[in-house]
Amino acid sequence: MAAVQGGQIDPEGEKDIKTEPSNDGSGNNNANDGGVLSSSPGATSSSGTTKTLTAGAEDQQTLLAVLQFLKRNKLSESVDILRREAGLSDDADDSKVSDTAGSGLGSTVNVDAEGGDANSLLNRVTIATAAPPATAAPAPTKVPASGGEDQPDVNVVLSAYSQQGDPPLYQVYYSGLKKFIESVLDCHRAELSQVFYPLFVHMYLELVYNNHEMEAKAFFEKFSGDQECYYEEDLRILSSLTKKEHMKGNETLLDFRTSKFVLRISRDSYQLLKRHLQERQNNQIWNIIQEHLYIDIFDGMPRSKGQIDAMSGSLAGEGKRDANKAKVFYGLLKEPEIEVPLDDEDEEAENEEGKPKKKKPKKDSMGNKSKKQDPNAPQQNRIPLPELKDSDKLDKIMNMKEATKKIRLGPDNLPSICFYSFLNAYQGLTAVDFTDDSSLIAGGFADSTVRVWSVTPKKLRRVKSAADLSLIDKESDDVLERIMDEKTASESKILYGHSGPVYGISFSPDRNYLLSSSEDGTVRLWSLQTYTCLVGYKGHNYPVWDTQFSPYGYYFISGGHDRVARLWATDHYQPLRMFAGHLADITCTRFHPNSNYVATGSADRTIRLWDVLTGNCVRILTGHKGPIHALAFSPNGKFMASGATDGRVLLWDIGHGLMIGDLKGHTDTIYSLKFSRDGEILASASMDNTVKLWDSMKAFDELETDDFTMATGHIHLPENSKELLLGTYLTKSTPVIHLHFTRRNLLLAAGAYNPC
Amino acid sequence: MAEERRQKQCSVVLPTESMKAMAESIGVGQLQEESCVALSEEVSYRIKEIAQDALKFMHHGKRRKLTTSDIDHALKLKNVEPLYGFQSQEFIPFRFASGGGRELHFYEEKEVDLTDIINTPLPRVPLDVSLKAHWLSIEGVQPSIPENPPPAPKEQQKAESTEPLKAVKPGQEEEGAPQAKGQGATSAESKGQTCKDKGLVRMKPRSTHELSVEQQLYYKEITEACVGSCEAKRAEALQSIATDPGLYQMLPRFSTFISEGVRVNVVQNNLALLIYLMRMVKALMDNPTLYLEKYLHELIPAVVTCIVSKQLCLRPDVDNHWALRDFAARLMAQSCKTFSTTTNNIQSRITKTFTKSWLDEKTQWTTRYGCIAGLSELGPDVIKTLILPRLSVEGVRIKAVSEGPVVSNIDKIGADHVQSLLLKHCASVIAKTRPLPDNMDQYRADYGYLGPMLCSHVVKARAQAALQAQQVNRTTLTITQPRPTLTVTQSGLGGSVGSRTPSIIKVPSSLTLMSTRPGTPTQPSPPATKYIVMATSAGAASTQQVITLSTSQSASPITSTVPSGASTLQPLVKLESQGPGGLGGSRPLQKYIVVSLPTSASSSLENKSSMLPPSTSPISVEAGMKMDRSESPGASTQSPH
């Protein structure tokens, strides 16, 4: 596998980046489960799962923990049974597990029904299911769609369904539970209702797996209408699946099986549910809950329907609370000092910017350069960044000069929008990008081409051929000018090389390179000096939906249909990191402004934030009800905005891993989001032919952040989309697919005019 | 609903016949029924799977249409060879055929003669992709340039004009939203309050853009045509105002133009111009893309002026300024209906204004007429509560003028008009609300001087209602001409010239349906449901009424007689085609003439039947026609209808 090699052949120059562990898959799974797994190997949940476990150090530990727990509770019979089944010797247990603090759970359900004191219950549930995903999950790097490779996995995955109850009783079970949940107190009902969907899916799949097609259909018809509307997409896929054979190679099914559906339920509600199921001896449902659901119990008030709806909707339930506990250094890196002697004008510019506009976060970091570092920022050399070249420094100076002329935006001072329409694109425009200085615009097209336009009067020129270059006087002052071939000057250039639609495109910060990702499974690096392809990065094998350069250049990220995001360096043909964990296609990828983190949005309706250094997933953000097609970080790195096919924009606090805003207004897929250079305005572009401007400052300010909210992540979202909306700008018939703020805060938008 | 839909989705399976047909096409003869079923289920499932994948490509291709290439890419994902030859994005080249109980879709492959292809001229080369920049917004305001969509759809205009009101008035419906359940309710609420406060402080700056050169030209042309002398041009201009979608930017200018125009022309008593301006208002109101709320402060005073002004024309005794008042009153009623809200209270304010000046003893007959017209257009409820109780008072006043010593001719005409107006509007309301029988004496007791006349009007109204009900029941004729006008010609008779009042009551009315060319001066209103009923008497004076009828009535059958039954009228309807001449100039005119004959024995009936002996005879129709024609031109030049 490419991933494995990628780790091993990390070159010497990259020694600062930790060498990839040879098994990326499990490494990343560790990350997904948060710190729990590594610190205290948990116990397994029930006898059913225990059976499926195979040998392995981790599993042994788990078993031992269980044994110890049983012993402590004087359940010698169970201990014996378990030991016999697992084939462990008596002396094995005492040696290892002394440090697994008081955790564990009974091998049978009824064991701790009476002994379920609060503490052990909590531990049990939070830790209970930590292990199974790691073992049951197929290595995420494996290609999901290719049938042959999948077979063994599927069998492993599905074997859990082989135990079956009486098929006709499924409806009785389900409606019994439904009746119960409908009859509980209002405050618990919303929470317990979360159980319906995963239960429904698993029961349906069990029926299908055991060849009860008719019962499955009847079950589906009877209860599919009860599910929340945002699961409709999945239900549609599920409805077409009626035979055991169909389950092989079905990605949705695999997702559902390999990952436990995560529910957050308050302790009270959970107790209610458990008591009910035990009273009724409803083992079928209880088994499913034990095996396929991960119930994250918290203390405190049950959540309201609104709170739950805000967070649910992803393919695998909500993110676990632990998953978002890791510290994220969201601060910005210190701006490097620029040693180039500044002429007077620059000096002036810098002074100006340092004093009066200190409030702006971006300015802050630029203003107090060489002073103390942002406490939330990562170490300057946490990941190695490329050295600044002279040209980069010049560009930085230009940037700062421009920044002083920047318009201060706000609700009363909206940006002007300049719209670039692609004419005669025949619905073929698939991706657009602007350079940071807004001098170039690039478009990716369905006909596999990439086109670059100059939007300034300066024409695009190629470097002369090698033969001509040798004739040039290399000592002359204007050598940079002389190497360009005047004959090739034109307003646009076409780059040929891909063999499928180009879905992602990104300029390097220094404007020397262009990246493009395509349906053909490659990412290509183009030179904007010679307008030729330099490298084709292969590894994805399946369509690559998005790619983006790091804000510091050199690194780039790509993600696609194979559900893996890859981090590359331009000078390596193998990826440096592979981020696996998403359950469906990765639809968009974005670098954090400090380049230490990468955010990926996926068709599984989650957003994950990955640490570039460790490769760990540090945030799982759920709440979208459709595939995510747009991501944007605020310039100060603290916040993130995401847009999806459901037409909603969600705002996130990265530091706390909290959803802090829900902007409703668009009626179709959001394809682009951008914060203004100061982060005061958020612009969103959508398929519904509109650009909308939102007051992001207000959205962030109004955030109520008490300790409880911080601790639990249960936030009350104010219904204030209308107040935050500052403007809507309709195009004639042009879906807007890209947005860009110039350095002076002019908003550029782009899309293909679509007559008809 | 959703559930049903979903069920459908899961049950869609290809028919087994297709499997058989496909099997045959590749040479498998006898396929077992069971295999067919199994195959069709499997194939359906796979097809759905591929369709789902193809959707992904559509989304990433940033399109709304699924193309054949999306399917190819989805197949490629599954390691299946794509379908070659279906590159067309425009159409799916399948043909459908059925026969012998089979239904088939097939791909038609024609034999193509290569020489034909070689000889055909090359198609035009498609244009290359190009980039064009324009301003979508300048500092928050969208400029109106051809690249941008026509500004501000009506909903948005409405939202814009109503939103500030909402912010000022902490709304009823917003109250509920922030009150989330559970512990956060109080904090959320208090926060909601602060938001609202902030909303109060922040007022959106209004900025108007300069009109582009084209818009300025357009404005100039339109306004000139609207008040100019050429009727054809005016019709076109009004048509443009009533239908063009992009006038939002010019709305402030138009409304100022109208309000200033009215101000000047009222002083100068320029009736024609006032009529033109009111027709502009009408056209603006008819434009479906405009929302006039923001400009009512200019338009309403202008319209009200045209309703109640003491004098609107130079020769009040001759000119038909009454029609203008009627027309303006209708405009007023329409704007009340459309824009009156609990916030602006247009209707109640207008009603108060009218009532106040009507109650004033010193009010002139002209103003009085305007007030009554304005009130009665507001609907039967207003008539019932405000006008009916005052009928007796008004009757005394009218009686004083018409039967007392002649004070001035103008007063007399005014009183006449007020009387007929009152009769017209009140009769229909009373007919609906008052129980039978219609007793003259009872009416006199209830309504005073106007009572008896009212009574006969009510009788007539009831009869007409009954007749219409019958006509509706047997609709046979459709009128192909776009805008039929319904004209009621009340032919006055010999004895009734002196005093008009009795003639109105006793004269048999003939109903004329006539279709007019669209955009004629007499008909600026859209072809909706309005029909203009012109009541013309043989005398010099004429009245016009506009009644609103449903279309089905206009399309009522043309038959010789309607069975009289219980009705007191015996209408006769005659279709007549008429050559050039008369009102329409050279255009052929088709008239549907309904002649109603009251069956009740009265002297005037005898009179009438002696004059127009058998009502079905062509002569009588001709006579009616002529009268109609002779009246019409005068009326049409004056009336804004």
Most confident of A335-344, B284-293, B429-438: B284-293
Please report which confidence band the pLDDT of residue B157 belongs to, taking 50, 70 and 90 as the band edges.
Answer: low
In the prediction, which pLDDT does B580 show? Answer: 42
In the prediction, which pLDDT does A368 show? Answer: 43
d(CA A416, nearest CA chain B) in Å:
4
A293-298 and B530-536 as β-strands: parallel, antiparallel, unpaired?
unpaired
pLDDT in tens, A495-518: 999 999 999 999 999 889 999 999
In the prediction, which pLDDT does B411 show? Answer: 80
Token output for A231: 């699961």
In the prediction, which pLDDT does A355 show? Answer: 43
- Overall average pLDDT of the A571-597 stretch: 91
Cα dihedral A642, A645, A648, A653 in deg (nearest 10): -20
In whole angstroms, give the CA distance from residue A667 to residue A646: 8
In whole angstroms, give the CA distance from residue A575 to residue A556: 9
- The answer to whether A214 faces chain B, any CB pair under 8 Å, is no
d(CA B66, nearest CA chain A) in Å:
11
Tell me: pLDDT of B163 over 70.
no
- The answer to whether A737 faces chain B, any CB pair under 8 Å, is yes
d(CA B124, nearest CA chain A) in Å:
14
- Overall average pLDDT of the A700-725 stretch: 68
The average confidence (pLDDT) of chain A is: 75
DSSP characters for B185-251? HHHHHHHHHHHHHHHHH-PPPP-PPPPPHHHHHHHHHHHHHHHSS-HHHHHHHHHHHHH-TT-GGGH
- The answer to whether A207 faces chain B, any CB pair under 8 Å, is no
Residues of A in contact with B44 (CB under 8 A): 240
In the prediction, which pLDDT does B91 show? Answer: 53
| B45:A423 CB<8 A | no
pLDDT in tens, A351-375: 444 444 444 444 444 444 444 567 7
In the prediction, which pLDDT does B635 show? Answer: 38
In the prediction, which pLDDT does A378 show? Answer: 84
d(CA B6, nearest CA chain A) in Å:
7
Residues of A in contact with B7 (CB under 8 A): 221, 224
Nearest by Cα to A456 from A433, A478, A472, A440 = A440
A752 forms beta bridges with A422
- Overall average pLDDT of the B142-167 stretch: 63
In whole angstroms, give the CA distance from residue B240 to residue B284: 10
Please report which confidence band the pLDDT of residue A704 belongs to, taking 50, 70 and 90 as the band edges.
Answer: low
Sheet holding A639-644, edge to edge: A628-633, A639-644, A649-653, A658-663
In whole angstroms, give the CA distance from residue A565 to residue A650: 22
Tell me: pLDDT of B194 over 50.
no
| B59:A503 CB<8 A | no
In the prediction, which pLDDT does B552 show? Answer: 40
d(CA B286, nearest CA chain A) in Å:
24
Residues of B in contact with A250 (CB under 8 A): 49
pLDDT in tens, B372-403: 888 888 888 888 888 888 888 888 888 888 77
Q: Which residues of B238-265 are buried (b: 16+ CB within 10 A; e: fewer)?
A: bbbbbebeebbbbbebbbebbbebbeeb
In the prediction, which pLDDT does B493 show? Answer: 40
d(CA B140, nearest CA chain A) in Å:
5
Tell me: pLDDT of A254 over 70.
no
In the prediction, which pLDDT does B205 show? Answer: 47
Residues of A in contact with B69 (CB under 8 A): 446, 501
In the prediction, which pLDDT does B581 show? Answer: 41
**Contact pairs from chain A to chain B, CB under 8 Å:** 195
| B135:A419 CB<8 A | yes
Helix (H) or strand (E) holding B403: helix B391-403
Nearest beta carbon to residue B61 from set A451, A492, A501: A501
Most confident of A620-634, B37-51, B214-228: A620-634
Torsions phi, psi for A652 (to 5 deg)? -130, 145
Residue corresponding to tokens 């010193």:
B362
In whole angstroms, give the CA distance from residue A547 to residue A545: 7
Percent above pLDDT 70 for chain A: 72
Most confident of A316-320, B528-532, B614-618: A316-320
Helix (H) or strand (E) holding A175: helix A169-183
A690 forms beta bridges with A730
d(CA B218, nearest CA chain A) in Å:
22
Token output for A421: 């329409």
Mapping DSSP onto H, E and C, the string for A580-649 reads: ECCCCCEEEEEECCCCCEEEEEECCCEEEEEECCCCCEEEEEECCCCCEEEEEECCCCCEEEEEECCCCE
Residues of A in contact with B167 (CB under 8 A): none
Question: For residue A184, what is the DSSP state?
Answer: S
Radius of gyration of chain B (CA): 34
Tell me: pLDDT of B511 over 80.
no
In the prediction, which pLDDT does B539 show? Answer: 40
In the prediction, which pLDDT does A550 show? Answer: 93
* DSSP helix/strand/coil, B134: strand
Note which residues in 123-162 of chain A have CB less than 8 A from chain B. 145-146
pLDDT in tens, A235-249: 887 887 777 777 776
- Overall average pLDDT of the B584-606 stretch: 42
Nearest beta carbon to residue A423 from set B3, B69, B132: B132
Higher pLDDT: A71 or B49? It is B49
First to last CA, chain B: 49
Of the given ranges (A68-77, A219-228, A273-282, A420-429), which has the lowest mean pLDDT? A68-77
Cβ–Cβ < 8 Å for A670, A654: no
Tell me: pLDDT of B510 over 50.
no
Nearest by Cα to A268 from A173, A196, A185, A199 = A185
Tell me: pLDDT of B302 over 70.
yes
Provide ipTM, 2 decimals. Answer: 0.74
A417-423 and A747-752 as β-strands: parallel, antiparallel, unpaired?
parallel
Tell me: pLDDT of B334 over 90.
no
Residue corresponding to tokens 């103008």:
B410
In the prediction, which pLDDT does B208 show? Answer: 55
Tell me: pLDDT of B193 over 50.
no
In whole angstroms, give the CA distance from residue A651 to residue A720: 13
In the prediction, which pLDDT does B153 show? Answer: 59
In whole angstroms, give the CA distance from residue A237 to residue A251: 10
Tell me: pLDDT of A382 over 50.
yes
- pTM, rounded to two decimals: 0.58
Residues of A in contact with B131 (CB under 8 A): 420-423, 441, 453, 455, 492
The angle subtended at Cα A130 by Cα A124 and Cα A131, nearest 5°, is 115
Cβ–Cβ < 8 Å for B378, B364: no
Mutate to test the interface with B, among A247, A416, A687, A722 (most CBs of B within 10 A): A416
Higher pLDDT: B338 or A150? It is B338
Tell me: pLDDT of B304 over 70.
yes
Tell me: pLDDT of B449 over 50.
yes
Residue corresponding to tokens 């402030």:
B252
| A424:B128 CB<8 A | yes
Tell me: pLDDT of B624 over 50.
no
Residue corresponding to tokens 């111009």:
B273
